[in-house]
C-alpha cells in the first residue's frame, strides 16, 4: 500500500507520454511500409520498447535516438520467425498477432505460457486457426464485418479487420451508425493506404428536405462508411504521435478539482472518436480550452489549458459520448463524485456487460469513500458530494482504475492508501510523479 495525501494546486506546463495504442500502431505501420519512417518527439516507453524488440526479432531494423524512433520498413511481405516471444502488453500482442496472421503456412510456437499470459484466449476470440501439436496455425482470414447492437464495430475487431485487410491485400467495406476510437483509419490513410472514411445520412440533405423528412416521421440515420481498396504497399513517413488522452484527462481532472490550479498540457490527441473525455468534463463545468489546435499527419492534436473550476455539475452522459472515452470512465466517475447532483454514465448494454467487473470494482471503492453510487444494466449512477472521504483503494486491473483512485486520493480529505502502484508506473511512466502520488 502507498500512502497518498490531499494534493496542492497543479501549476505549469506538462507533457504526457505518446498515445499508447497510436504509438504501437505507428511502429507497426512503419515496419510494414516501404522506406524509412521517423516518429518525431516520441519518448520511449516500456510498451514501445517491448514491441520494438518483437519487431527486431522479426527482421525489422529500428532504433530510438534523440527522442525519436527511426524505422526501416520491410514492406507487407516480410517473413516472421516461427518461434515467437510475443510482446507483453495486451494491445501490442494483439497487433503482433494481426501481422502474423498473414502467414498461413507456418505453425507458430508461442511458448508454454499461452494460457497464463492470455495468448490462447486472444487467438481463439479474434483469429481463425487451430492448435496443432502445441503450435498455432492461422486459418483463412475472416473479414466479415460484425456490427454491435449499438451500431458500431467493436474497437479491437475494427483494428483487426483493417490490419488483416492490409497485410492480406484485400478490400474492406464497413458501415456503422457510429465510429468509436477510430484512429487507425487516419493513420493508414496518412501512410498511403487507399482508404476513405465518409459520412452519409441527413447531412447530405438540404435543410428543407431534413424538415420535411422529420414532419413525415422519416428517420435519416447518420452512417460512417469506411472503404479500403486492396493495398499493395504503404509508404514510410515522418509522423508525430500525440499525447495520451487518458494521462491528459487525469491531469485535467486533478487540476480542475484542486483550488488555484492552472496548467497547460501540450500536444494531446484530439481525435473526436478518442478524446470524448474532454467534452464530458467541459459539459460538467471544467474550465478547459483547446489552444494551438493542429490538423497534421492525418489527425488532430493540440494543447489544453486547464484551470481549477467551481463545483462541477452532474450530467447524463450518452453512450455515443462514452464510446469515445471508454478508458476514461473511471476518471469521469471520480469527477461525478464531487459534482453537484447526479451523474449518469450510460453505456450500450453489451459494453456495460463487458465492463461489469470494472464497474463493480469502481462502485465498491467509491462507496467506501462515502459516495452514493449504483450499478445498473447500462452503467453507473453517481450522486456527488462537496467533499470525499479518504479510503484504502484496491483494484486488480485495468491500470485505468488505479489511476482514477490515485486522482481521487489526491482530492479527498485525509490519508488514503492505494495498492499496486507498479502497474500504474508501467502503463503511465512518469505520470504519478506529475500528479504528486510518487
Question: Mean of the pLDDT values across residues 94-103?
Answer: 95
Q: In which band, very low, low, confident or very high, does the pLDDT at 215 lie, cut at 50, 70 and 90?
A: low
Q: Of 75-84, 259-268, 326-335, 378-387, give the lowest mean pLDDT range.
A: 75-84
Q: Using an 8 Å Cβ cutoff, are 92 and 64 in contact? A: no
Domain boundaries 20-239, CATH class: alpha beta
Which class for 376: exposed (0-12), middle (13-18), buried (19 or more C-beta within 10 A)?
exposed
Measured distance CA(115)–CA(126) in Å, rounded: 15
The mean per-residue pLDDT over the stretch 68-75 comes to 95
Q: Which grid coordinates are listed for 181? A: 476510437
Residue matched to cell numbers 423528412: 213
* Cα angle for residues 350, 351, 352 (degrees, 5° grid): 90
Asked if 2-18+242-435 and 20-239 have one fold, the answer is yes
**CA torsion angle 202 321 434 301 (round to 10):** -10
For residue 77, give Cα distances in angstroms to 34, 55, 80, 101, 154. 10, 14, 10, 12, 28
Every domain of the chain and the residues it spans: 2-18+242-435, 20-239
How far does Cα 78 stand from its chain's mean position?
Answer: 28
Tell me: pLDDT of 114 over 90.
no
Q: For 147-164, what is each residue's pLDDT tens digit?
A: 988 888 999 999 999 999
CATH, domain 2-18+242-435, list 3.65.10.10, 1.10.10.60, 1.20.950.20, 3.90.1150.10:
3.65.10.10
As a whole number of angstroms, the distance between CA 154 and CA 172 comes to 16
Amino acid at each position: 500500500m502507498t500512502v497518498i495525501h490531499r494534493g496542492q494546486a497543479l501549476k505549469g506546463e506538462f507533457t504526457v507520454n505518446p498515445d499508447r495504442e497510436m504509438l504501437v500502431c505507428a511502429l507497426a505501420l512503419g515496419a510494414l511500409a516501404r522506406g524509412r519512417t521517423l516518429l518525431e518527439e516520441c519518448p520511449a516507453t516500456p510498451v514501445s520498447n517491448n514491441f520494438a524488440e518483437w519487431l527486431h526479432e522479426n527482421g525489422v531494423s529500428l532504433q530510438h535516438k534523440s527522442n525519436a524512433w527511426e524505422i526501416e520498413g520491410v514492406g507487407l511481405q516480410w517473413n516472421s520467425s516461427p518461434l515467437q516471444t510475443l510482446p507483453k502488453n495486451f494491445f501490442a500482442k494483439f497487433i503482433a498477432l494481426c501481422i502474423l496472421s498473414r502467414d498461413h503456412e507456418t505453425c507458430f510456437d508461442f511458448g508454454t505460457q499461452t494460457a497464463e499470459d492470455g495468448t490462447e484466449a486472444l487467438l481463439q476470440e479474434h483469429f481463425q486457426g487451430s492448435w496443432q501439436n502445441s503450435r498455432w496455425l492461422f486459418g483463412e482470414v475472416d473479414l466479415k464485418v460484425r456490427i454491435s447492437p449499438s451500431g458500431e464495430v467493436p474497437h479491437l475487431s475494427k483494428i483487426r479487420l483493417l490490419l488483416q485487410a492490409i497485410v492480406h491485400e484485400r478490400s474492406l467495406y464497413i458501415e456503422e451508425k457510429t465510429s468509436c476510437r477510430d484512429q487507425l483509419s487516419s493513420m493508414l490513410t496518412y501512410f498511403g493506404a487507399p482508404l476513405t472514411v465518409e459520412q452519409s445520412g441527413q447531412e447530405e440533405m438540404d435543410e428543407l428536405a431534413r424538415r420535411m423528412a422529420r414532419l413525415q416521421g422519416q428517420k435519416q440515420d447518420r452512417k460512417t462508411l469506411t472503404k479500403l481498396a486492396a493495398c499493395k504497399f504503404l509508404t514510410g513517413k515522418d509522423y508525430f504521435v500525440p499525447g495520451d488522452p487518458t494521462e491528459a484527462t487525469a491531469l485535467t481532472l486533478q487540476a480542475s478539482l484542486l483550488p488555484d490550479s492552472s496548467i497547460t498540457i501540450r500536444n494531446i490527441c484530439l481525435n473526436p472518436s478518442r478524446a470524448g473525455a474532454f467534452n464530458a468534463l467541459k459539459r460538467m463545468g471544467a474550465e478547459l480550452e483547446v489552444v494551438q489546435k493542429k490538423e497534421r499527419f492525418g489527425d488532430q492534436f493540440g494543447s489544453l489549458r486547464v484551470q481549477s473550476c467551481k463545483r462541477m455539475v452532474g450530467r447524463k452522459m450518452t453512450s455515443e459520448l462514452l464510446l469515445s472515452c471508454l478508458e476514461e470512465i473511471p476518471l469521469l466517475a471520480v469527477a461525478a463524485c464531487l459534482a453537484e447532483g447526479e451523474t449518469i454514465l450510460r453505456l450500450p448494454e453489451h459494453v456495460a456487460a463487458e465492463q461489469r467487473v470494472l464497474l463493480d470494482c469502481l462502485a465498491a471503492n467509491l462507496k467506501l469513500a462515502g459516495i452514493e453510487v449504483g450499478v445498473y444494466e447500462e452503467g453507473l449512477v453517481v450522486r456527488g458530494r462537496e467533499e470525499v472521504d479518504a479510503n484504502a483503494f484496491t483494484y486488480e486491473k485495468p491500470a485505468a482504475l488505479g489511476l482514477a483512485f490515485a486522482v481521487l486520493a489526491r482530492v479527498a480529505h485525509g490519508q488514503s492508501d492505494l495498492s499496486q502502484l507498479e502497474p500504474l508506473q508501467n502503463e503511465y511512466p512518469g505520470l504519478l510523479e506529475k500528479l504528486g502520488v510518487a
